A and B are shown apart, each in its own frame.
Chain A
Amino acid sequence: MSCRLAADNVLYGNPLFRWVYDLAGSALPCWLAYIIAGLVVMFIVVNGVLAGTAVLTWAERKLLGRFQNRVGPNRWGPFGLLQPMADLVKLLTKENLTPKGADRLVFNLVPILMMMPTLLVVAVVPFAMNTAVADLSIGVLYILAVSSLTILAIFMAGWSSNNRFALFGAARGVAVLVSYEVPVVLSLLGVVMVAGSMSLSGVVEAQAVPFLLVQPIALFVFAAGTSAELNRTPFDVAEGESEIVAGYHIEYSGIKFAIIQASEFGGTITASAVIVTLFLAGWQGPLASYLGWLWFLLKLGLVLFLFVWVRATYPRLRTDQIMAFSWKFLLSISLINLLATSLEIYWLRGAERALTTGDLWIMALMNLAIAAACLLVAGRLSQAKVRRVRPPLPVAASGTAAREAR
Chain B
Amino acid sequence: MTMTNVHTNIAADAHPVEMLLNMGPQHPSTHGVFRLVLWIDGEKIVRAEPHIGYLHRGSEKLCEGEQYHQVITLFDRLDYVANFNNEWAYCRAVEKLMGLTVPERAEYARVILGELNRVASHLLYVGTMGLDAGAMTPTMFCFRGRERIQALFEAVSGARMMHNYFRIGGLKEDLPENFVQMVKDLMPLLRQDVEESDKILTFNEIFLARLKDVGAISPQEAISYGFTGPCLRGCGVDYDVRKAHPYSVYDRFTFEVPLGLDGDCWDRHWVRVQEMYQSLNIVEQALQQMPQGPVTSSLGRRLLRPPKGEVYVRGENPRGELGVYLISDGTDKPYRVKVRPPSFCNLSAIQHLLQNAWIADSVIILGSLDIVLGEVDR
Number of interface residues of B (CB under 8 A): 54
Contacting A at CB under 8 A, from B46-92, are: none
Neighbouring A residues of B358 by C-beta, 8 Å: 318-320
Query: Which residue of chain A has the shortest Cβ distance to B144 in the bound complex?
Result: A69
Question: Distance in Å from the Cβ of A166 to the closest Cβ of chain B?
Answer: 12
Number of interface residues of A (CB under 8 A): 47
Neighbouring B residues of A388 by C-beta, 8 Å: 212, 261
Are the CB atoms of A164 and B209 closer together than 8 Å? no
B173 contacts A by Cβ under 8 Å: no
Neighbouring A residues of B210 by C-beta, 8 Å: 315-318, 321
Question: Distance in Å from the Cβ of B191 to the closest Cβ of chain A?
Answer: 11
Contacting B at CB under 8 A, from A61-115, are: 64, 67-70
Task: Decide: A314 near B288, CB < 8 A? Known: A68-B140, A402-B254.
Answer: no
Neighbouring A residues of B255 by C-beta, 8 Å: 396
Are the CB atoms of A312 and B137 closer together than 8 Å? yes
Task: Decide: A243 near B362, CB < 8 A? Known: A315-B207, A316-B134, A383-B205.
Answer: yes
Contacting A at CB under 8 A, from B266-291, are: 274, 277-278, 281-282, 284-286, 288-289
Question: Distance in Å from the Cβ of B131 to the closest Cβ of chain A?
Answer: 6
Report the separation of the CA atoms of residues A57 and B200 in the bound assembly, to the nearest whole angstrom: 25
Residue of A240, A314, A395 near B206 (CB, 8 A) is A314
Report the separation of the CA atoms of residues A397 and B277 in the bound assembly, to the nearest whole angstrom: 13
Are the CB atoms of B289 and A399 closer together than 8 Å? yes
Task: Decide: A245 near B28, CB < 8 A? Known: A390-B261, A396-B281.
Answer: yes
Neighbouring A residues of B288 by C-beta, 8 Å: 398-400
Query: Which residue of chain A has the shortest Cβ distance to B130 in the bound complex?
Result: A315
Report the separation of the CA atoms of residues A233 and B131 in the bound assembly, to the nearest whole angstrom: 12
Are the CB atoms of A399 and B286 closer together than 8 Å? yes
Residue of B20, B134, B144 near A233 (CB, 8 A) is B134
Are the CB atoms of B284 and A398 closer together than 8 Å? yes
Report the separation of the CA atoms of residues A242 and B27 in the bound assembly, to the nearest whole angstrom: 8
Query: Which residue of chain B has the shortest Cβ distance to A234 in the bound complex?
Result: B206
Question: Distance in Å from the Cβ of B257 to the closest Cβ of chain A?
Answer: 9
Neighbouring A residues of B20 by C-beta, 8 Å: 164
Residue of A234, A386, A398 near B285 (CB, 8 A) is A398
B132 contacts A by Cβ under 8 Å: yes
Query: Which residue of chain B has the shortest Cβ distance to A389 in the bound complex?
Result: B203
B156 contacts A by Cβ under 8 Å: no
B43 contacts A by Cβ under 8 Å: yes
Question: Distance in Å from the Cβ of A151 to the closest Cβ of chain B?
Answer: 18
Query: Which residue of chain A has the shortest Cβ distance to B42 in the bound complex?
Result: A171
Neighbouring B residues of A68 by C-beta, 8 Å: 136-137, 139-141
Neighbouring A residues of B155 by C-beta, 8 Å: none
Question: Distance in Å from the Cβ of A376 to the closest Cβ of chain B?
Answer: 14
Task: Decide: A237 near B360, CB < 8 A? Known: A315-B130, A321-B209.
Answer: yes
Neighbouring A residues of B140 by C-beta, 8 Å: 68-70
Neighbouring B residues of A382 by C-beta, 8 Å: 205
B189 contacts A by Cβ under 8 Å: no
Neighbouring A residues of B289 by C-beta, 8 Å: 399-400, 403
Report the separation of the CA atoms of residues A398 and B21 in the bound assembly, to the nearest whole angstrom: 52
Neighbouring A residues of B256 by C-beta, 8 Å: 393-394, 396
What mask results when residues 351 to 376 of chain B are scored 1 for a CB within 8 Å of chain A, else 0? 00000001111110000000000000
Neighbouring A residues of B205 by C-beta, 8 Å: 382-383, 386-387
Question: Distance in Å from the Cβ of B356 to the closest Cβ of chain A?
Answer: 13
Are the CB atoms of A319 and B360 closer together than 8 Å? yes
B208 contacts A by Cβ under 8 Å: yes
What mask results when residues 307 to 326 of chain A are scored 1 for a CB within 8 Å of chain B, else 0? 00000111111111100000
Question: Distance in Å from the Cβ of B60 to the closest Cβ of chain A?
Answer: 32
Question: Distance in Å from the Cβ of B98 to the closest Cβ of chain A?
Answer: 30
Query: Which residue of chain A has the shortest Cβ distance to B253 in the bound complex?
Result: A399
Are the CB atoms of A243 and B29 closer together than 8 Å? yes
Task: Decide: A314 near B141, CB < 8 A? Known: A164-B19, A242-B363, A319-B358.
Answer: no
Are the CB atoms of B21 and A387 closer together than 8 Å? no
What mask results when residues 5 to 43 of chain A are scored 1 for a CB within 8 Å of chain B, else 0? 000000000000000000000000000000000000000
Further pairs besides A243-B363, A386-B212: 7, Cβ < 8 Å: A69-B144, A241-B134, A318-B209, A386-B209, A387-B208, A393-B278, A398-B285
What are some 20 contacts across the A-B interface (CB < 8 A)? A68-B139, A70-B140, A168-B21, A237-B360, A241-B134, A242-B29, A243-B23, A243-B29, A313-B137, A315-B133, A318-B209, A386-B208, A395-B281, A399-B252, A399-B285, A399-B286, A400-B288, A402-B253, A402-B254, A403-B289
